[in-house]
Amino acid sequence: MSDQIEVLNQIIQMIDEKASKYKDGVMKMKEVQRNAEKKLLMDLIQNGLTLAESIKPKPLDLVTDLKRLSEQIGRLG
Protein backbone atom coordinates (compact mmCIF):
# COMPACT_ATOMS: atom_id res chain seq x y z
CA MET A 1 0.00 0.00 0.00
CA SER A 2 2.74 2.47 0.85
CA ASP A 3 4.25 1.96 -2.62
CA GLN A 4 0.97 3.10 -4.17
CA ILE A 5 0.90 6.18 -1.96
CA GLU A 6 4.52 6.99 -2.81
CA VAL A 7 3.82 6.71 -6.54
CA LEU A 8 0.65 8.78 -6.15
CA ASN A 9 2.61 11.48 -4.35
CA GLN A 10 5.13 11.55 -7.21
CA ILE A 11 2.34 11.83 -9.79
CA ILE A 12 0.70 14.65 -7.80
CA GLN A 13 4.01 16.50 -7.66
CA MET A 14 4.38 16.21 -11.45
CA ILE A 15 0.78 17.35 -11.94
CA ASP A 16 1.33 20.37 -9.71
CA GLU A 17 4.44 21.42 -11.63
CA LYS A 18 2.94 20.83 -15.08
CA ALA A 19 -0.39 22.48 -14.20
CA SER A 20 1.30 25.61 -12.89
CA LYS A 21 3.48 25.93 -15.98
CA TYR A 22 0.56 25.21 -18.28
CA LYS A 23 -1.78 27.72 -16.64
CA ASP A 24 0.91 30.42 -16.65
CA GLY A 25 2.03 29.87 -20.23
CA VAL A 26 -0.97 28.52 -22.13
CA MET A 27 -1.63 31.79 -23.97
CA LYS A 28 2.01 32.12 -25.06
CA MET A 29 2.32 28.57 -26.39
CA LYS A 30 1.99 27.65 -30.00
CA GLU A 31 -0.97 25.40 -30.73
CA VAL A 32 1.10 22.25 -31.18
CA GLN A 33 2.93 22.77 -27.90
CA ARG A 34 -0.28 23.72 -26.09
CA ASN A 35 -2.02 20.54 -27.31
CA ALA A 36 0.94 18.32 -26.38
CA GLU A 37 1.27 19.84 -22.91
CA LYS A 38 -2.47 19.59 -22.34
CA LYS A 39 -2.53 15.92 -23.40
CA LEU A 40 0.42 15.10 -21.13
CA LEU A 41 -1.20 16.89 -18.20
CA MET A 42 -4.60 15.27 -18.76
CA ASP A 43 -2.94 11.82 -18.98
CA LEU A 44 -1.09 12.48 -15.71
CA ILE A 45 -4.32 13.55 -14.04
CA GLN A 46 -6.09 10.43 -15.30
CA ASN A 47 -3.25 8.23 -14.03
CA GLY A 48 -3.46 9.97 -10.66
CA LEU A 49 -7.21 9.47 -10.53
CA THR A 50 -6.94 5.80 -11.44
CA LEU A 51 -4.33 5.19 -8.76
CA ALA A 52 -6.19 7.24 -6.13
CA GLU A 53 -9.38 5.29 -6.83
CA SER A 54 -7.55 2.02 -6.17
CA ILE A 55 -6.23 3.03 -2.75
CA LYS A 56 -8.19 2.00 0.34
CA PRO A 57 -9.41 4.10 2.01
CA LYS A 58 -9.95 6.27 -1.04
CA PRO A 59 -8.53 9.81 -0.70
CA LEU A 60 -11.82 11.52 -1.57
CA ASP A 61 -10.49 15.09 -1.31
CA LEU A 62 -7.67 14.28 -3.71
CA VAL A 63 -10.04 12.60 -6.17
CA THR A 64 -12.29 15.67 -6.07
CA ASP A 65 -9.34 18.02 -6.57
CA LEU A 66 -8.02 16.02 -9.53
CA LYS A 67 -11.43 15.97 -11.19
CA ARG A 68 -11.77 19.73 -10.69
CA LEU A 69 -8.28 20.33 -12.10
CA SER A 70 -9.10 18.15 -15.10
CA GLU A 71 -12.17 20.27 -15.82
CA GLN A 72 -10.16 23.50 -15.49
CA ILE A 73 -7.40 22.29 -17.81
CA GLY A 74 -10.03 21.05 -20.26
CA ARG A 75 -11.42 24.57 -20.53
CA LEU A 76 -8.01 26.18 -21.10
CA GLY A 77 -6.42 26.42 -24.51
pLDDT for 35-58, tens place per residue? 999 999 999 999 999 999 999 999
Average pLDDT of the segment spanning 22-28: 94
Given a contact cutoff of 8 angstroms between Cβ atoms, the answer to whether 7 and 51 are in contact is: yes
Residue whose C-alpha is closest to residue 42's, from 65, 19, 8: 19
Reported confidence tier of residue 24, pLDDT bands at 50, 70, 90: very high
Domain of 58 in residue numbering reads as 2-75
Predicted local distance difference test score (pLDDT) of residue 1: 59
Torsion of CA 49, 53, 54, 60, to 10 degrees: 120
For residue 60, give the amino acid letter.
L
Number of domains comprising the chain? 1
More confident residue, 2 or 43: 43
Q: Is the pLDDT of residue 27 over 70?
A: yes
